Structure 1
Amino acid sequence: MNIELNFDELKTNGIKVNYYFICKRKLWLFDRGIQLEGSSEKVSLGKLLHDTAYSRDTKKEVLIDNLISIDIISGGSVREVKYSRKMEEADRWQLYYYLFFLEQLGIRKKGVINYPRQRKREFIELTDAIRSRLIEILKEIKKVLSLPEPPPAKKLPYCTKCAYYTFCFSD
């Protein structure tokens, strides 16, 4: 599939693609430099897992264009390490975005999401349908980020475990 687009206009970082699926408000706040994850126990546990899992892999934390940080590159695969499967859709689209980003640079890889605590892996590949949907998602992210103020807080089942919970819901 040949997609006509100016990728430079749509480029973002992978965490923003992830946040788009979790919470548009969190996405907007994060983009504005309101980054509360540093005080989150869950984020700390995820970082610890990320640092200790797959210690034999040598190509870890590969930063590309100061925008995407790939957890592991091994052979023909790009791998993401995630603490939990609770946000599978967000995890999946973040990795799709990494694969798409690399593809724009002429690099074709497959994706693997590792959930070491659950001893599970998910294998993913880009398809034409995913590429098309991803372009729409990137355009939607741009729209959210261009809003003059954050989207309203929406109480979701996982909000109480979010680092932004107090920020969004305290009186």
Structure 2
Amino acid sequence: MISINGTQINYYYICKTKLWLFSHNIHMEQESDNVKFGKTLHEDSYKKDNEVLIDNLINVDFIKHNNPIEIHEVKKTQSMKKSHEFQLLYYIYYLKKEKGLNNVVGYLNYPLNRKMFKIELISEKEKELESTLFDINKIICSDIPKPKKSRICRKCAYFEFCFC
């Protein structure tokens, strides 16, 4: 099975074309104003909390070493909450399966809205996540999926690649 990172999980729930492009090292995010804003938002909102990169696959925005261990993901808006949720669920899943950590809970932080949501890996979500991992591998190993235009496309870093 191919190594999968958190961004790929996130993109799976947003756009299969974006997932495929990113997975084949076609990266356009560094030019995106939305991505730059998100990085600034994290830096400004959580100055004393540092990102933690684990096994070069998962990049947790910050960790609180409580009992249970808290992993936090900071996002700009809730508009793609399902993709955010499954990215965080993947981090919890990875820590459970690869690191043997069973006492981990996640939090989605939306500082602009002053909201925080607790995310836990329950068996139903774990099964859906495993199905997602299987689908991601199939997408990556296939030809590029045809882009499906939606309302979120105009803000996407890959918009011109897909539609111009």
Q: Shared topology, TM-score over 0.5?
A: yes
Q: How many residues align?
A: 159
Aligned to 2:6: 14
Query: 1:164, 1:81 → 2: CA distance?
Result: 22
Other structure's SS at 1:52 match: helix
Query: 1:158, 1:133 → 2: CA distance?
Result: 24
For structure 1, the residue ranges without an aligned partner over 5 or more in a row are 1-8
Residue 38 in 1 paired to residue 30 in 2? yes
| CA contact 1:99–1:109 (8 Å) conserved in 2 | yes
For structure 2, the residue ranges without an aligned partner over 5 or more in a row are none
| CA contact 1:10–1:139 (8 Å) conserved in 2 | no
**Deviation by residue 1:104-126 (Cα, 9 ceiling, x = unmatched):** 11113101000001101110101
**Deviation by residue 1:13-36 (Cα, 9 ceiling, x = unmatched):** 000000000000000000111111
State the AA in 2 paired with 1:143.
K
Aligned to 2:58: 68
- TM-score in terms of structure 1 length: 0.90
Q: Percent identity?
A: 42
| CA contact 1:13–1:68 (8 Å) conserved in 2 | yes
- CA RMSD in angstroms comes to 1.0
State the AA in 2 paired with 1:154.
K
Q: How far is the alpha carbon of 1:10 from its aligned partner?
A: 5.6
2:162 to 149, 162, 168: 168
- TM-score in terms of structure 2 length: 0.94
Q: Which runs of 4+ in 1 moved over 6 A?
A: none
| CA contact 1:113–1:121 (8 Å) conserved in 2 | yes
Q: Specify whether residues 10 and 96 from structure 1 end up closer, same or farther in structure 2 by C-alpha distance, changes over 3 A only.
A: farther
Q: How far is the alpha carbon of 1:131 from its aligned partner?
A: 0.9
Query: 1:81, 1:16 → 2: CA distance?
Result: 17
Q: How far is the alpha carbon of 1:151 from its aligned partner?
A: 0.1
